[in-house]
Amino acid sequence: MSEPIPVARRLSVVKPSATVAVAQRARELKAQGIDVLSFSVGEPDFDTPVHIREAAKQAIDSGATRYTAARGTVELREAICDASAKRRPGASYEPSDVVVSVGAKHTLFNLALALYDEGDEVLIPAPYWVSYPEQVRLAGAEPVIVQTSEEQGFRMTPEMLRAAITPKTKALILCSPSNPTGGAYSGEQLRALADVAAEHDFWIIVDEIYGQLVYGGFEQKSIVEVAPELKDRIIIVDGVSKTFAMTGWRIGWMLSPAYVAKACEKIQSQSTTNPSSIAQSAAIAALRGPWEPLEEMRQAFEARRSIIVEGLNAIEGISCGTPEGAFYAFANVQGLIGKQGGGKQLETDLDVAGYLLEEARCAVVPGTAFGAPGFVRISYAASNDMIREGLKRIGEAVGKLS
């Protein structure tokens, strides 16, 4: 038998998604009849609101089932611009500035191909969402990881940004509120970063997919609001997945200078072409309202945040700060490392996550996947009962460690 034909060399630099891997292991255990509680996937547990589902049904019945423009329908792009104007006062966009893609991850992938060349450097604060550095590598550029700390709320400071910039810097990727930490930048903190960026010439790409899920009176700001003079270098990434419980609908978008949007449209026209016509109609309904279902979900997440943070801090060896947004608790498990459990010593956060899956039957994601060893990400996009049961199981499993 002849040797298999090799795949492209570019794949050698890419790691598989750790969040997907953990979810797959949890599904395998469930398939064996084992009761596993999954806190690994960033997906709201709520159903998509009724009026959005009805809009999709109407789209099917009315024959909106054909190709659209590669960058999305004019109607959806207008709705995106209108919604953005309400969320980001003072920063107006036109439909020509928008490209609608198959989810925000697809938007970021298009941007990587459109903006980065070999030899470019892209600054990424850690902890980071797992796909940011991998997409940079696929484009042939180099991710430059800027390590933040728990004491700083996992936020990059202006001093950190200034120290990381080189003549090769092509872009900075921020996520606020953050996946995986839930931490968010205030308007003042964004302004301070913008002041440093203004001294140089690179793109500022801000992932705001969790921007409407903030708690405790935190005032969400976009960098384009606080630094409007940099608008021609700022690219906003957003979508309906998290806010409207529409992960499976796969609708995300970018707000950017028109020439960047045109470049991404060119790439998309040769890959997926347009996002689903039916999902686009549903996204219009989501953005046009009513907004009461969104607020109900936000309030539920806020209540869950209190339960999980309090519960984690009650477990010896685990500590957790209070996130400003998203639906993740980023727990410090360094107090468990070095202990014995499940017939082995827990030497890393990967070991801790594996122990919790096998012993507590709770799936969490190790912080190493996000560039933050010693932590685990726990999604609280789950019912109150499931969160309480998970905390109980984790507490009991930790209690068995020696």
The tokens of 169 are what?
């810097």
Chosen CATH of 9-47+293-399 out of 3.30.1960.10, 3.90.1150.10, 3.30.565.10, 3.40.50.720: 3.90.1150.10
pLDDT score at 13: 84
384-399 and 292-313 helices cross at what angle (nearest 10)? Answer: 20
pLDDT score recorded for residue 343: 87
Does the structure show a pLDDT above 80 at 23?
no
Q: Worst-scoring range by mean pLDDT, 129-133, 202-206, 314-318, 339-343?
A: 339-343
As a whole number, mean pLDDT of residues 183-209 equals: 98
Stated pTM of the model: 0.95
Residue 30: pLDDT band (50, 70, 90) is confident
Say whether pLDDT at 18 is over 70: no
Best CATH choice for the domain 64-288 from the list 3.90.850.10, 3.40.640.10, 3.40.30.10, 3.10.450.230: 3.40.640.10
Local structure of 390: helix, strand or coil: helix
Residue type, position 245, single letter: A
Write down the domain spans for the chain: 9-47+293-399, 64-288
Task: Return the CA Rg of the chain.
Answer: 21
Residue 149: pLDDT band (50, 70, 90) is very high
Average pLDDT over residues 334-363: 94
pLDDT at 26: 80
Average pLDDT over residues 137-151: 97
- Token readout for 308 is 């999980």
- Residue 1 confidence (pLDDT): 58
Confidence of residue 327 (pLDDT cuts 50, 70, 90): very high
pLDDT of residue 224: 98
Q: What is the pLDDT of residues 36-90, one digit of tens each?
A: 999 988 899 999 999 999 999 999 999 999 999 999 999 999 999 999 999 999 9
Mean pLDDT of 353-377: 95
Tokens standing for residue 344: 């082995």
Q: Angle at which helices 349-359 and 384-399 pack, to 10 degrees?
A: 110
User: Residue ranges of the alpha helices (H) in 90-156?
Assistant: 104-115, 131-138
